[in-house]
Amino acid sequence: METLISPTLREMALVAAMASALVLAAANYLANHAVQKRLPRLAYTVLVVLVCGTLLPAAALRGLTGSGILQSSVLAWEPLALAAAIIGGGVLLAAFLRSQPGAEWRRVPVLVVALLGPSLAEVLVFAGLIYTVAEYALAAQLSRWLAAAAAAIVSAAAFALYHLTHGPPWNEWRLIRTLFLVWLLVAATYVWTVNLWAAAAINTCMATIGFIKGRVTRAEEQPLVVSAALDAAAVLAVVAIAAAAAG
């Protein structure tokens, strides 16, 4: 017999999802603008990326899954989808960075490790939460594919505007349009694969391209081993929460 899920539970899950997204935006703004000095990279990664951008959104995703709004498979390991996303990301790296000098290419592995955690957090919030809430709200008025397209646009706009909570150069209006287009690609990956890990792979590659072309180096201020450890912590935490939701 199919388990009936109360409208109240769905409403609570939707409110928690939006609240989690707002918490990340507020924490990011405080870290980048409201403190006398920018937080050290490690503190920023732990407090903003890991806690506010990963643990809270993953818990909110569990709520969306438990309420029947979101498929539990979006955080399952799908080897084919993930492999396709990694290959596609590699093609994008080669295409956008083909004219870069060797020194910039040597930054790629370090940046991929440094940016995986933040990229996963962005995907959890803007694909997992914002896109899902928008699609759910639009599903009653639009066809499936129109609702998906409209939700992708909503999530892309939210992602672009979220960067106003960052510091330069990411909070400059000249980059907002570019970030909007970047997220449309990430959202399209999510719509195509229905998998957040695949979307995170594409987002990591696009973030790496942005850091190299913009000559942004702050991500590399953190030792590589620390970035790798925090990546592992983020991935394991999301896997554990997803497993609990599936169970």
DSSP secondary structure string, 235-246?
HHHHHHHHHHHH
**202 within 8 A of 96, measured Cβ to Cβ:** no
Does residue 3 have a pLDDT over 60?
A: no
Looking at residue 42, its pLDDT comes to 87
Looking at residue 2, its pLDDT comes to 41
DSSP state of 45: I
Instruction: List pLDDT tens digits, range 48-106.
Output: 999 999 999 999 999 999 888 998 889 888 999 999 999 999 999 999 999 999 999 99
Does residue 38 have a pLDDT over 80?
A: no
Q: Which tokens go with 161?
A: 């505007």
DSSP state of 74: G
Q: Which band of pLDDT confidence, cut at 50, 70 and 90, is reported for residue 26?
A: very high
Integer Cα distance of 217 and 61 in angstroms: 32
Integer Cα distance of 109 and 91 in angstroms: 15
Length in residues, the chain: 247
Whole-number mean pLDDT of the chain? 92
Looking at residue 168, its pLDDT comes to 87
**205 within 8 A of 92, measured Cβ to Cβ:** yes
Looking at residue 1, its pLDDT comes to 32
Does residue 153 have a pLDDT over 90?
A: yes
Does residue 21 have a pLDDT over 90?
A: yes
Looking at residue 39, its pLDDT comes to 74
Looking at residue 220, its pLDDT comes to 83
- This prediction's pTM: 0.94
Query: Between the CA of residue 127 and those of 108, 132, 229, what are the distances in Å?
Result: 24, 7, 24
Q: Which tokens go with 189?
A: 């990956």
Does residue 227 have a pLDDT over 90?
A: yes
Q: Which band of pLDDT confidence, cut at 50, 70 and 90, is reported for residue 245?
A: low
Amino acid in position 29? Y
Range scoring the smallest mean pLDDT among 123-137, 162-176, 186-200: 162-176
Range 175-194 average pLDDT: 96
Query: Between the CA of residue 207 and those of 64, 150, 214, 231, what are the distances in Å?
Result: 27, 23, 10, 15
Helix (H, G, I), strand (E, B) or coil at 24: helix
Look at 218 and 119; give whichever has higher pLDDT.
Answer: 119
Instruction: List pLDDT tens digits, range 142-152.
Output: 999 999 999 99
